[in-house]
Amino acid sequence: MTGAGTDKTRPLISGGPAIVLVRPQLAVNIGMCARAMANFGLDDLRLVSPREGWPRTDARRKGAYAAAAGAVHLLESAKVYDSVEAAIGDLGFVWATTARERGQGKRVLPPAIAMAETAAAIRSGEKHGIIFGPERTGLDNDDVALADAILTFPVNPAYASLNLAQAVLLTGYEYFRSSQGDVLPFVKPERSPPADRDMVLAFFEFLEGHLETRGFFRPVSKKPIMQRNLRNLFHRMSLSHQDVRTLWGAVVRLVEGPRHTIQTRKRLGPKQTPRKIRDVEPDVTPE
C-alpha cells in the first residue's frame, strides 16, 4: 500500500550501486524504478536517452511522480546521459542485466551472489553500477559488451521477461540484504508472561465444570480421556497469562449472557436486575 510503510522520522539509508536505465520507454516506469530504489536505500539513478525525454513537464511527468510514490527526490536528482559509455564512465565495475545468453564469455550470476560482491566492493570504496535495458527489447549486445559481468534472475524459463521496475526491485532487495542484513522493520510483539500452572488448572476446572453442566462429557465412561484431550489442546498453545484471562472472560460471557452495566441496572431497577452481574470481569483485551 502506498505510504503504508513510510516513516519520515527514521534516517534515510542511501548509497549503493548506480542504477542505469538504458533507453527507458515509459516515464511511469522510471517513477516505479525510483520507488523500488527508495525501498532499498539506492539513490543514484541514471537515465540514458529516455524515449520521452527527461525531465518531463507534461502529463507524463505527473504519471512518473505518482508512480514514484514519495521517491520524487530520486527523480529530481536523476542524471541524464546520451550514451551508456558516458553513464558508466566513473564506475569501476558494471553488471548488465539480461534474460538471454549472449555468448560473450562473461561471468553470469544471480542477484543474491552478485549483490553480495557489490556490497563488499562498495564498503571498500569501489563504485559499482547495474545497467537495465529498454522495456520491450532489453539491452543489446553492444550494451552488454560494456559490462564486466552479467546479472540474471532465476525465473520460469518459459516466461523469463521481467517488468523493468520488478528487475530493479529484486536487485535492490538483494543488495539491501547484503549491505544491511536481514534485520526486519518490526518483530512480533512480546507476549505477556506464560500462565502459571495454578492459573491454567483453575481455568480448566472452571471450563470443565460448565461443560459438565451442559452435558459435554458423554458418555460418562469417556470423560477422563475427553478431559485429557481438552487440556492437551490448550497446553499445545503455550498459553500466556493474557490468553487465560481472555479465554476465561469469553466463557463467562457465554455462560452468563450479555454484560450489564451500571446504567442497565438503573434502567431495570432493583427488582429486575439479574442476580449474576459481576462488577469486575476477567480481562478480555488483546495483548
* Cα gap 163→47, rounded to integer Å: 17
Q: Report all structural domains of the chain as residue ranges with CATH numbers, in order of start.
A: 18-180 (3.40.1280.10), 197-268 (no CATH)
Name which of 170, 134, 128 is nearest 147 in CA terms.
Answer: 128
Distance between CA atoms of residues 74 and 57, nearest Å: 16
Q: Give SS3 for 83.
A: coil
- One-letter identity of residue 43: D
Give Cβ neighbours of residue 233 (< 8 Å, ≥ 6 apart): none
Q: CA 176, CA 245: separation in Å to the nearest integer?
A: 42
Mean pLDDT (the chain, rounded): 84
Bigger pLDDT: 256 vs 277 = 256
Residue 277's pLDDT is: 36
Q: How confident is the model at residue 162 (pLDDT cuts 50, 70, 90)?
A: confident
